[in-house]
Amino acid sequence: MTLAPETTDLKVQLRLDSEDSENEVWFTVCDLNLLVPGRGVAALLPDGRQVALFRDRSGSLYGIDNRDPFSGAAVLSRGLTGTHQGRPFVASPLLKQRFDLVSGECLDDASVRVATYEVRAG
Amino acid sequence: MTSNPRVVPTIVLVGHGMVGQRFLEALAERGLTATHRVVVLCEEPRPAYDRVQLTAYFSGRTPEELSLTDPEFIKDHGIELYIGDPAETVDRAARTVTARSGLTVEYDTLVLATGSYPFVPPVPGKDSDGCFVYRTIEDLLAIEEYARSRATTGAVVGGGLLGLEAAGALKGLGLATHIVEFAPRLMPVQVDEGGGAALLRTIEDMGLTVHTGTGTQEILADADGAVTGMKLSDGSELATDMVVFSAGVRPRDQLARSCGLSVGERGGIAVDEQCRTVTDPHVFAIGECALAADGRVYGLVAPGYEQAETVAATIARDESAFTGADLSTKLKLLGVDVASFGDAHGTTADCLDVVYSDARAGTYKKLVIGRGGELLGGILVGDADAYGTLRAFTGSVPPVSPEQLVLPAGSGGAVQLGPSALPDEAVICSCHNVTKGTIRGAVTDHSCTSVPEVKKCTKAGTGCGSCVKVLGQLVTAELEANGVEVDKGLCGCFAQTREELYEIALALRINSYQDLLDRYGREGARGGDGCEICKPTVASIIASLAPTIGASGYVLDGEQAALQDSNDHFLANLQKNGSYSIVPRIPGGEITPEKLIVIGEVARDFGLYTKITGGQRIDLFGARVEQLPLIWARLVDAGFESGHAYGKALRTVKSCVGQTWCRYGVQDSVRMAIDLELRYRGLRSPHKLKSAVSGCARECAEAQSKDFGVIATANGWNLYVGGNGGATPRHADLLAQDLSDAELVRLIDRFLMFYIRTADRLERTSVWLERIPGGLDHIRDVVVKDSLGICEELESLMAAHVAGYRDEWAETINDPERLARFVSFVNAPDTPDPVVGFIPERDQIKPDLPLLTIGMRRPQQPADVLEGSAQR
């Protein structure tokens, strides 16, 4: 048994309050090791919203709304991720539009964006 | 009935063959269809088709595909085309033409393009049942029908160009085939004695029987009047069930004769250099019915096209003249290349021959050289690759010695003279008379960047197609000369093509995406996360090579899981509302009642929508992600395996019932389909692979629309490749004939592995075949003749795949860790996705579509734009 904190003990947490609020509210989703680098998972929030969570090769975590605005299906967590001009993105598995994982902007249609969430490992 | 009074000048074209159609196009190009009424009387029951490619009908081209006539063209130009209504009389005094239907049309200009008719020697019995000519699609249909029902042996009278085509057709229909030629050699017009000998050897090796120097004296028939044999000039009798006369053609000038137009001694409507009849200035004649000003009747399509252009120009009052034409020709007869060009027989005074002959290889090459060293003409048999270049050099002194041009490649002295050495005036496409300069202009002035664009722009390569290879080289050379640098890289992460990445992975045994990206990615992409284009591509390469490069054969192991496309990641097909569909493998489309019942029960128990697919399987729709393992547990238990409907992999091998049940079947197509499907199941490839096996030439399994299709023959199997259905249908090309079971499997092994190795990402075999240099011929060289020496490796790669195959779903449901991914929510594994909902329709379910947040805003967005927007 080691005493040093292991990454496997870490949890993926999602910030639920608005960013300028005084009291931070973090919602624990799952063990960090359930996130395979380059792949996403979906999480269900207490209010019924769905979040797509991703982890990239460097260990950074991202969260965006799971619903694909082009089809209405809750599938963005199942898309393929990548880097485009240094920015991480996920491509919808349905019609392949790409969404910036940091800003939520659709890279193929600037008028469309999805909600983003602050994610941490803690 | 008489047509409308003449408000605009009227051009009447009699005959709608290849030359007639070219004439109409020439009229349209000059704007004459706008200023003239154009009426066409066509005897055949279909508009103009490609008679040069007639024999292609027997290798699967349909009459529709042979058509040269775009209905839109006819309509857009207001051309009145009367099909199946030949002109019967011409009244030159009244300037009217009357057709068989009674239609009478007044003309200002009459153009006769009545073509030619096959010459049938006046031998007794020539009209017996089972005697045919070889000229029209209708002739071919009749030959096919008779050969299938009443003949096992066939004889062709005439060993010329068309005779050999006809013989090839009979052989393809499974008949024992004889060729009877009066001259002492085959193709007496095009080749000399040496060329004839090379040709004879090759054709006899194919199993045809050739009788040269032999005349036909009588056709023998039985009491019912059906052919039983032939009596030959050497006194012998040849038993045969059918006879095809192909002993040359004669100009069809009857209509001209009966209206008093002057014709030549041996036929042909006499015309001047403008192709105007010498008798009547209002009447022109073009093509095979015309006796040109130089006293010849031209039987090739290229001179006919030139005559068509001349007449159109004359009507438009442009200066143009037809003074004679090049008789160069390149053909593939029975798979043998035969070409002759220029003064092939060396009739010029003081000319010399340079000959290279290899009777064992069936190759013969002769060049005719003039006194000043200029190339005058030549004959190529067995290997006509140099035809395009040599013909273009005709009339000039080639930059290297003629010997070097005919020696086989690799023999030291040989020189491959590229088309870049040609002068701008060199004619590249002789069918449409397109020069090298025009082709270069298409690239430099008209911004064409590909062969298809240049073809469209210049018409080069759209006739017989023999110049397409040279055309490709010219276009590439011109693009490079203009400094057009096309980034052929796979995506923003890799500068290599898929093919290059495959070679790297194979040669260096790289089995990790990150490794490949960090070592071989573009500078800025190394160390990054890649993208949605290269990840699945590399995943596919790793999966195709898994046993060889030491990667796991299970596509969701380790890093591979992160690379797979969404569908592969869940081993199911994502549908529009986020639910999945499931397709169990049903090899060859054969299924027991018990298994059918299991599928029915599973679908009923999970409330799935069921539909029969086009590939003889059953698709089960509406499964939530967490239901997939439960459904597959039942399917695997009943003996089903993954159908890989979610993967770029082998889908199905469709079959008809074949010999076992069908009265027409000649082989057991179901067994072969099952064998092939089980052999190639799970094979990851650049795109999906579809196949089919038909038990006879009726082709009920539609094998010619598949990536690889197999059609049974009396002697084995014919293998077709590169077919496709979908948005751009393509008929498959015949790769090899009459294969045994083992030969068939070996060829498919090689073909598939060569495709996997060299195709681009998401490039179906049909596109790949059209794209790769050399096309089908190159593929045949590689996989049949092993020209690259890689067949052994291709076979061993496939053997490794076959040995390493395991069912992905069986592997998944037996491993709890692998099952963990099949949840809608990582933090609520038992909760189904509430967005996935269904409503009833026609006694089954359909998706209850979620309300789109942006759907209302862009109602007109076409799907292809939406999809294309993600492409870079």
Lowest mean pLDDT segment, chosen from B190-204, B519-533, B574-588, B691-705: B190-204
- What is the Cα gyration radius of chain B? 31
User: Which pLDDT belongs to residue B415?
Assistant: 52
The three-state (H, E, C) secondary structure of B595-636, written as one string: HHHHHHHHHHHHCCEEEECCCCCEEEEEECHHHHHHHHHHHH
pLDDT band per the 50, 70, 90 thresholds, residue B334: low
Please tell me the distance from the alpha carbon of residue B2 to that of residue A111, in angstroms, as a whole number: 64
Give the closest of B826, B863, B870 to A30, CB-based.
Answer: B826
Enumerate the β-bridge partners of residue B111: B13, B284
- How much is the average pLDDT of B773-780? 89
Query: Which residues are registered as beta bridge partners of A74?
Result: A67
Q: How much is the pLDDT for B463?
A: 67
Asked if B169 and B145 touch (Cβ cutoff 8 Å), the reply is no
Contact call for A38 and B535, based on CB within 8 A: yes
| B870 CB within 8 Å of a chain A CB | yes
At residue B332, the pLDDT reads 64
The encoded tokens of residue B787 equal 């020209």
Q: What is the pLDDT of residue B858?
A: 41
Residues of chain B with Cβ-Cβ distance to A114 below 8 Å are none
Which tens digits make up the pLDDT trace of B463-489? 666 677 778 778 877 887 777 766 778
Q: Do B825 and A98 touch (CB under 8 A)?
A: no
B390-394, B424-428, B435-439, B543-547 — most confident range = B543-547
**Minimum CA–CA partner of A28 in chain B:** B827
> Does B562 contact A at CB distance below 8 Å?
yes
SS3 labels along B359-396: CCCCEEEEEEECCCCCEEEEEEECCCCCHHHHHHHCCC
In a domain? residue A42: yes
CA torsion B564-B798-B688-B711 (nearest 10°) is -170
Say what the pLDDT of residue B2 is. 47
> CA nearest B3: which of B76, B82, B96?
B96
Q: What is the mean pLDDT of chain B?
A: 87
- The dihedrals phi and psi of B593, each to the nearest 5 degrees, come to -55, -40
Give the mean pLDDT of B204-217: 89
Judging contacts by C-beta atoms under 8 Å, the chain A residues touching residue B854 are: 69-70, 112
- Nearest to residue B284, comparing CAs of B91, B10, B26, B13? B13
- What string of DSSP letters covers A1-15? ---SPPGGG-EEEEE
| B5: pLDDT strictly greater than 70 | no
**In chain A, how many domains are there?**
1
Question: What average pLDDT score do residues B829-857 get?
Answer: 79
Q: List CB contacts (< 8 A) between B859 and chain A.
A: none
CA atoms B645, B650, B655, B660: torsion sign = negative
A71 touching B, CB under 8 A? yes
State the CATH number of the domain containing residue A28.
Answer: 2.102.10.10
pLDDT recorded at residue B461: 77
A115 near B CB under 8 A? no
Cα-based distances in Å from B321 to A106, B12, B13, B340? 63, 21, 19, 25
Q: Is the pLDDT of residue B553 over 50?
A: yes
Single-letter residue type at B769 = L
Indicate whether A2 belongs to any domain.
Answer: no
Q: Say if A14 falls within a structural domain.
A: yes
Q: Tell me the pLDDT band of B790, cut-offs 50, 70 and 90.
A: very high
> Is the CB of B850 less than 8 angstroms away from the CB of A73?
yes
Per-residue pLDDT tens over the stretch B618-636: 999 999 999 999 999 999 9
What contacts B614, CB < 8 A, 6 or more positions away? Answer: none
- Does the pLDDT of residue B151 top 70, yes or no? yes
How far apart are alpha carbons B279 and B270 in whole angstroms? 8
Q: Which of B448, B445, B450, B426 is nearest to B436 (CA)?
A: B426
Nearest CB to A42: which of B527, B528, B824?
B824
**With contacts defined as CB-CB under 8 Å, which chain B residues touch A84?**
492, 531
Q: Given its phi and psi angles, is residue B860 left (phi above 0), alpha (psi -120 to 50 degrees) or beta? A: alpha
- Nearest CA to B389 out of B482, B475, B473 is that of B473
Ramachandran area for residue B538 (φ above 0: left; ψ -120 to 50: alpha; else beta): alpha
Write down the pLDDT at residue B860: 40
**Coil/strand/helix, residue B11:** strand
Task: Give me the residues of B, 467-496, that contact A with CB < 8 A.
Answer: 492-493
Comparing alpha-carbon positions, the chain B residue that sits nearest to A113 is: B854
Q: What was the ipTM of the complex prediction?
A: 0.90
- DSSP 8-state secondary structure symbol assigned to residue B750: H
Interface test with B, best of A50, A56, A75, A101 (most B CBs within 10 A): A75
DSSP 8-state secondary structure symbol assigned to residue B2: B
Our CA-based measurement puts residue B871 at a distance from the nearest CA of chain A, in whole angstroms, of 9
First to last CA, chain B: 62
Mean of pLDDT values over B597-612: 96
Asked if B120 and B17 count as a contact pair (C-beta separation under 8 A), the reply is no
Chain B closest-CA separation from residue A23 CA (Å) = 24
A36: nearest CA in chain B? B562
Q: How confident is the model at residue A2 (pLDDT cuts 50, 70, 90)?
A: very low
pLDDT for residue B851? 60
- Restricting to B residues 807-846, those with a Cβ less than 8 Å away from any Cβ of A are 820, 824-828, 831, 833-836
**Among A81-95, B108-122, B333-347, the least confident range:** B333-347
On whether the CB atoms of residues A87 and A31 are closer than 8 A, the answer is: no
What is the structure's pLDDT at B617? 97
Q: Of B827, B833, B838, B865, which to mutate for an interface test with A (greatest number of A Cβ within 10 Å)?
A: B827
- 3-state secondary structure at position B80: strand
* Mean pLDDT of the B163-171 span: 88
The whole-number average pLDDT for the span B486-493 is 81
Q: Which of A30, A36, A79 sits opposite B827 (nearest CB)?
A: A30
Query: Using CA atoms, how far apart are residues B154 and B131, in angstroms rounded to an integer?
Result: 10
A112: closest chain B residue by CA: B854
Residues B49-88 pLDDT 10s: 988 778 778 777 788 888 888 888 999 899 999 999 999 9
B865 contact A CB<8A = no
What does the pLDDT read at residue B388? Answer: 73
The chain A residue lying nearest B525, using CA atoms, is A83
Residue A37 resides in a domain: yes
Q: Are the Cβ atoms of A72 and B851 closer than 8 angstroms? A: yes
Query: In chain B, which residues have their Cβ closer than 8 Å to the Cβ of A30?
Result: 826-827
Q: What is the pLDDT of residue B197?
A: 84
| Chain B residues within 8 A of A80 when measuring between CB atoms | 531-532, 535-536, 565-566
Where does chain A have alpha helices with state H? Answer: none
Kindly report the nearest CA distance between residue B517 and chain A, in angstroms: 12
Pairing relation of β-strands B689-694 and B708-713? parallel
Residue B869 has pLDDT above 50, yes or no: no
Calculate the alpha carbon distances from B380 to B467, B469, B526, B585 in Å.
15, 17, 53, 51
Residue with tokens 């930059």: B399
Q: What is the pLDDT of residues B249-287, one digit of tens each?
A: 889 999 999 999 999 988 899 999 999 999 999 999 999
Q: How does strand B96-99 pair with strand B87-91?
A: antiparallel
Average pLDDT rounded to a whole number, residues B2-26: 83
Q: How many CB atoms lie within 10 A of CB B489?
A: 16
Residue-wise pLDDT tens digits, B390-433:
877 787 787 777 777 777 654 545 455 566 677 787 778 877 77
**Number of CB atoms found within 10 A of residue B529's CB:** 24
The set of residues, in sequence order, having a beta carbon less than 8 Å from that of B224 and lying 6+ positions away, is B129
A103 touches chain B (CB under 8 A): no
> Does the residue A26 lie in any domain?
yes
The sign of the CA dihedral B322, B328, B329, B330 is negative
B442 burial type by CB count under 10 A (0-12 exposed, 13-18 middle, 19+ buried): buried
Would you call A91 an interface residue with chain B, using a CB distance cutoff of 8 Å?
Answer: yes
DSSP B226: B
How confident is the model over B686-738, as pLDDT tens digits?
Answer: 999 999 999 999 999 999 999 999 999 988 999 999 999 887 789 999 999 99
Quote the CA–CA distance of B566 and A73 in Å, as a whole number.
Answer: 14
Selecting from A53, A72, A80 the residue whose C-beta is nearest the C-beta of B532 gives A80
Question: Does residue B855 surpass a pLDDT of 80?
Answer: no
Nearest C-alpha neighbor of B734 from the set B749, B723, B745: B723
Do residues B659 and B691 lie in contact, with contact meaning Cβ atoms separated by under 8 Å? no
The helix (H) or strand (E) run that includes residue A83 is: strand A80-84
Q: What is the span of the domain harbouring residue A11?
A: 7-121
Taking CA–CA distances from B837, the nearest residue in chain A reads: A73
| Structure tokens given for A39 | 């792949």
How many beta-carbon pairs below 8 A join chains A and B?
A: 128
Q: For residue A64, is it within any domain?
A: yes
pLDDT at B868 over 50: no
- DSSP letter at B271 equals B
